[in-house]
Amino acid sequence: MKLLRMGMPEPRYVVEPLGKHHQKSGFSCGQEALETYLLRQASQDVKRRLAQVFVMRPLNNHRVAGFYTLSAAVIQARSMPKVLVKKLPQYPLPAVLLGRLAVDTQFQGQGLGKLLLVDALKRALAASHSIAIHAMVVDAKDAQAKSFYEKFGFIAFSDLPLRLFLPLKSVQQFAEP
């Protein structure tokens, strides 16, 4: 999926499903757990249908500049802020989990994290037309990551301050026709 919008300059990166042709070695984001996941576990998770892994790469090569994962999840309405749950059922709500998101240090500072998040939201929104998805959920690694997601409207769960969600209804208003 190309990151192209009308009136915007031609993209320099593409986001696509992880494949054998992608150059994962050398990926370094400053978080050992995320680096190890991409190098050793991501392909296995895709094969076992535990997560879909999407990578961002420059158009001119296959080096991984960043990646994210998506998988199915459920959330409990009782964990959400009370003002948001008044009209929601009290059984588990369908969600999509943004399990991991990372940008290689050589590509940081260019807004690629934001582009990866927008791509993930677009994919979740597209899937929600076929399969019910109430919200996207993310587990922030730390306060800095939490702040990143909050800038995009993610809201912390009442009982888990580093677990955040974004109702897809709020994403839909920004979706392109």
**Residues annotated as catalytic (active site), given as ranges:** 149
Task: Give 44-64 as a DSSP string.
Answer: HHHHTTS-EEEEEEETTS-B-
How does 17-52 read in b/e, with b if 16+ C-beta sit within 10 Å?
A: ebeeebebeebebeeeebbebbeebbbebbeeeebb
CB burial class (10 A; 0-12, 13-18, 19+) of residue 135?
buried
Extract the tokens encoding 84.
Answer: 């948001």
Looking at residue 167, its amino acid is P
